Structure 1
Amino acid sequence: MLVPLDPREAPSWTVRAPDGREFAVFRVGDGYRVTDAECPHNKGPLAQGWVRDGETLVCPWHWYRFDLGTGACATTRQYRLGVYPVLERDGTWWADVGEPPEPLSWAERLRAHARRAGS
């Protein structure tokens, strides 16, 4: 699924896909980087974070650091940030955010909850 980035003067902002998912957009050099809108650590608003050296995104809440190219977390390997390819077509910038994930069954939800509670 392609989501238009609607370029702005601000260094970062959020966009919403038609299915309701939100993504953070960062102006980096002469292009853009797109990530999940919330930090995987504690759901901090990543569009309010800052980009260091054009490569590292820092969450504004707890300073978790993520590689904008891979989504790897430099603070702890426990977390990974969703990063998405950006492309330009006919002067319009788009993020390819893929299709929404399939809904989890109740059993899958309970197992995921138990894994988080046990950490």
Structure 2
Amino acid sequence: MEQKQARYTWHKVFDSVTEAREQVPLRKLKQLVLDGRPICLAHTASGFFALDDSCPHLGYSLSKGTTNYLNEVICPWHSYRYSLQDGRECDFRTRKAVLHRIELRDEGVFVGIEQAATTT
């Protein structure tokens, strides 16, 4: 049986969780550029989340939007709402947002960008 195994390129985006909280306050968004790719970093009551900054609907910057109590990021252009848990648009009107892994480590906060999958 073949199993796909994801590989990630990890990017240190903050030296500590404290620094991350200072730079991205609760319920706020920040644009990061990792490997030339715009990423939206969200901070909600559920923690930190990372997703592609381009709205799947028409490509507007999600980091210019807001978050809500449902743990969604809201695009400021047409108010499409994307779950930070699974990337789904709340009314299923467009494709999912691309989410990225976040790891809070002793040495800082890291975002993992998935690379091409390999089979083993």
Structure 2 residue runs of 5 or longer lacking an equivalent are 1-8, 15-19
**AA partner of residue 13 (structure 2):** L
Q: Identity of aligned pairs, percent?
A: 21
Q: Distance in 1 between matches of 2:67 and 2:102?
A: 17
The structure in which a higher percent of residues are strand is 2
Equivalenced residues, count: 100
CA separation of 1:30/1:53 partners in 2, compared to 1, >3 Å: closer, same or farther? closer
Q: Distance in 1 between matches of 2:44 and 2:54?
A: 19
**AA partner of residue 33 (structure 1):** F
Q: Distance in 2 between matches of 1:34 and 1:71?
A: 10
**AA partner of residue 4 (structure 1):** K
Aligned residue number for residue 114 of structure 2: 98
Aligned partners of 2:11 and 2:110 also within 8 Å = yes
The structure in which a higher percent of residues are helix is 1
Question: Normalized against structure 2, the TM-score is what?
Answer: 0.73
CA separation of 1:36/1:59 partners in 2, compared to 1, >3 Å: closer, same or farther? same
Aligned partners of 1:40 and 1:81 also within 8 Å = yes
Q: 1:4 aligns with which of 12, 18, 30?
A: 12
Describe the SS at the equivalent of 1:39: coil
* CA RMSD, Structure 1 to Structure 2 (Å): 2.0
Structure 1 residue runs of 5 or longer lacking an equivalent are 102-119
Shift of 1:46: 0.4
Q: Higher RCO, 1 or 2 (CA under 8 Å, sep at least 6)?
A: 2
